[in-house]
Chains A and B, each alone.
Chain A
Amino acid sequence: MKRRSFPGGTHPPQHKSATADTPSEICPLPPELVIPLAQHVGAPAVACVNAGQRVGRGQVVGKPNGFVSVPVHASTSGLVVAVEPRPHPCGAELPAVVLQPDGDDVWAEEYLTQSFHVLTTETMLERIREAGVVGMGGAAFPTHVKLDPPHGKTIDTAIVNAVECEPWLTADRRVLLEQRDKVLTGLEVLQKISGARQMWIGLEDNQTDVAALLAPHCKQRGVGIAVMPAKYPQGAERQLIYAITGRRVPTRGLPMDVGVLVQNIGTVAALTDAVTRARPLIERMVTISGPNVVRPRNLRVRIGTPIAHLLKHCGLREEAAKVLLGGPMMGTAQHTLAVPVLRGTSGVLAFRRQDITAPAGGSCLRCGRCVAACPMHLLPTFIADYARRDALDLAERFAARNCIECGSCSFVCPAGIPLVQSIRYAKGAILARRRST
């Protein structure tokens, strides 16, 4: 066990007790599933079914489009009622396959269980891609791409990210507790594919009970458990790598540049299903919590379930005033409850009117709290100021593009300045300018 961390960061209230020790439940099927074709980083899938067509559970409804792309599957058996733009968590309406479950929930094909030991790396990677496995921590980057580094890059350390530093969320914790065998098999698959000599599971020290439960199994497999102080954003890739290995991922580089591979715990569990049973990723653990939820808990949710269905299942105290997908620090506020759960959705948080705090935007006190909190060692107040004045050259010179948008600066700002929003704008504007010139 190790106890290290990273410089900077903040300590938001955790609120994890609401769901941490409640066993997860299976979420009943909704009357309608909305399965977007864009659920991952990269090119969206291309629909390969039409309205009126019957599909089986796990059947491919969207084909991948290019290498950095994955197929999309039907989460249950039923009737395709439409392929049309539907509200997507990103805020726009994007093409989705709308599925009416028939209630039978029968698999499209019979799958056999097979030990991964007999499979080649290529077969495993192919199965991972076919299963549509993407990073389930939120970024939704196709896993087969990450597991297949270009020539010349070797992975010596694989880290399983179970840090879950966002308040309220406990989905990773429940996966570790309830699907331990899947996680452990997934670890072996990960080791075989990546060839990593060192394996770590990263946890925060509010999960010491989980660490204790895992310890004997990990010891047997030579997997280290790194318990780090609970601090936001400990789960951010670069901060996690630094805390466990002491290596700093270069500014424009990727973890593979320092020989590290990071996978979310949910992804690792999904690898098991994908490789040993060739089952697609059609279900995930989602935390339903927040002060507006009557029975906060984790649900095993079919991909494409509208969040209105989840909130109805767990009960709302009053009409929702604000609903987030993901955690409160980096999650996105939704304008409609019709948006579905995606492969990268870790939580649904509902708030009442009185829980919404909008800090009044005053002028900068130059207190330096944002500077002390920034895990990337930037000067958020300067960059945000340049961004507001559209001084993109200065913003870039102060390394605006290094920002990981964790929101620590806005969280601590006593004047309530939306710093990370301004920096996000600067990043976008700098990129747009580069493209146009």
Chain B
Amino acid sequence: MEFSKPLLTVSPSPHLHSGMTTSGMMGTVVLALLPACLVAVYLFGLPALQVLLICVVSAAAMEVLWQKATGRRVTVTDGSAAVTGLLVAFNLPPSSPWWLALLGVLLAIVVGKQVFGGLGHNPFNPALVARIVLLVSFPTIMTHWSAPQPGRFFADAVTAATPLSEMQATVTLTGSLPQNPTGFPTGYLLGNMAGCLGEVSALALLFGALFLLWRRVISWHIPASYLGTVIILSSLFWVIDPSRYPNPVFHLLSGGLMLGAFYMATDLVTSPLTGRGMLLYGCGCGLFTVLIRLFGSYPEGVAFSILLMNATTPLIDRYLVPRPFGMSRTGGLP
């Protein structure tokens, strides 16, 4: 037959793709994190730039090395290692020594991600695994904060306390909140406070988060339920005793809440799949964050609460299965 040239490609439907790929999503996250990177370098100078560079480069290198060593397909071009590296840097003090950054990346890439089988298989957020292991192993270095010195790139570091640690120390000592925390709230919004490299500027993080929401890399469920729960719970405590418990705006803008709610809790791999699951997960994150901040021994609870909820993700996915369209309320799933 003249028509039958065996040159036609045959494949199963659908024959179109949305065009959003894994590397595209990771690239979008990197773009979204850029404003916060710029703010960090502006505030904390060259040490911050050094930490950022070490983390990103070594994350990519370690992924390649591990995958070569274990004989796997090298998937560094999907960009997930770069994102993990950036997020590890964001969770370190800005003046961290080079070996701390390297160790953090090693923990995140190898222990946090690759031993479970690589991208998509890790139960816990790799960057937070690194942060928590470092925090409990090197508590002094990991809580050695330097004060922001806007625009002074070569200045010597000046030690300072984060708003949350200051709050906890004062509450423990005097039983009431510190009077007028310095720079609250506009300084907090812009990032003019001590803290982890990437968490300080709520404004820069929000800017990137809007970009992620617009590109639909993250959905609104987790940030909304996380921040909503924090606002409601902290308002409750604040109303009960304003001299003992800080107001919700302070909770929102201090510490790693913005970073956590928009970039860490929303980690695709370790958060639930369904909208309802995400809402529940976000509420859990918010609950534990407020509880740890107000009653825990650590001043900050974002990292712990997200890891804790990561552990519940498989359960949430297993038991919050959506009801299939057209299926009755009773004749449902397990």
**Complex: chain A residue closest to B4, CB-CB:** A336
> A250-B326, A362-B75, A402-B324 are contacts. A306–B3 as well, Cβ < 8 Å?
yes
Question: A362 with B22: in contact, given A328-B16, A332-B13, A420-B13 (CB under 8 Å)?
Answer: yes
**A379 interface contact, C-beta 8 A:** yes
Closest to B15 in A: A328
When C-beta atoms are compared, the residue in chain A nearest to B14 turns out to be A407
Known: A328-B15, A331-B15, A412-B18. A356 touches B9 (CB 8 A): yes
**0/1 interface trace, chain B 227-269, chain A, CB 8 Å (1 if under):** 0000000000000000000000000000000000000000011
| Binary contact readout A319-357 vs B (1 if CB under 8 angstroms, 0 otherwise) | 111111000111111111110000000000001000011
Contact B16 A363 (CB under 8 A): no
Contact A366 B325 (CB under 8 A): no
B: which residues have CB within 8 A of A? 1, 3-18, 20-22, 24-25, 75, 78, 117-121, 219, 268-275, 278, 317, 321-328, 331, 333-334
Contacts A338-B1, A381-B273 given; does A366 touch B268 at CB 8 Å: yes
Say which size band chain A's interface belongs to: 35 or more
- Interface positions, chain A 2-57, Cβ under 8 Å from B, are 6, 10, 12-13
CB pairs A–B below 8 angstroms (22 shown): A248-B325, A250-B326, A321-B8, A322-B9, A328-B16, A330-B14, A332-B13, A333-B11, A336-B3, A336-B4, A358-B11, A359-B17, A362-B22, A365-B268, A376-B324, A379-B322, A382-B317, A397-B334, A410-B14, A412-B18, A414-B20, A415-B21
A345-402: which residues lie under 8 A (CB-CB) from chain B? 351, 356-359, 362-369, 371-372, 375-379, 381-382, 397-399, 402
Question: A321 touching B334 by the CB < 8 A rule?
Answer: no
Alpha-carbon distance A109/B167, docked complex (angstroms): 95
Q: Which residues of B contact A320 (CB under 8 A)?
A: 7-8
- Chain A residues at the B interface, C-beta cutoff of 8 Å: 6, 10, 12-13, 87, 167, 238, 242, 248-251, 253, 306, 308, 319-324, 328-338, 351, 356-359, 362-369, 371-372, 375-379, 381-382, 397-399, 402, 405, 407-408, 410-412, 414-416, 418, 420-421, 424
Instruction: Establish whether residues A377 and B120, one from each chain, have CB atoms under 8 Å apart when the complex forms.
Output: no
Tell whether, in the assembled complex, residue A411 and residue B25 are in contact, meaning their CB atoms are under 8 Å apart. Answer: no
- The answer to whether A402 and B326 touch across the interface, beta carbons within 8 angstroms, is yes
Q: How far is the CB of B177 from chain A (nearest CB, A)?
A: 40
Contact of B325 (CB < 8 Å), options: A330, A351, A362, A376: A376
Complex: A10 Cα to B17 Cα, angstroms? 11
A377 touching B324 by the CB < 8 A rule? yes
Given A338-B4, A365-B119; A253-B12 close (CB under 8 Å): no
Residues A365 and B269 in contact, CB atoms below 8 Å apart = yes
Q: How far is the CA of A182 from the CA of B278 in the complex (A)?
A: 50
CB-contact partner of B9 in A238, A333, A367, A381, under 8 A: A333
Q: In the complex, what residue of chain B is closest to A311 when comparing beta carbons?
A: B3
How many Å lie between the Cα of A369 and that of B25 in the bound state? 12
Q: Which B residues touch A238, using CB under 8 A?
A: 325-326
Contact A411 B16 (CB under 8 A): yes
Cα distance, A253 to B272, chains bound together (Å): 31
Query: Is A398's CB under 8 angstroms from B333's CB?
Result: yes
CB-CB under 8 A from A410, the residues of chain B are: 13-14, 17
Contact status A333-B118, CB under 8 Å: no
| CB–CB B18/A10 < 8 A | yes
A411→B10 contact, CB < 8 A: no
Of B5, B118, B274, B325, the most chain A CB neighbours within 10 A belong to B325
Are A365 and B120 in contact, CB atoms less than 8 angstroms apart? Answer: yes
Question: What 8 A-B pairs come out closest when comparing CB atoms?
Answer: A407-B14, A368-B273, A338-B3, A363-B120, A367-B268, A337-B3, A308-B3, A328-B15
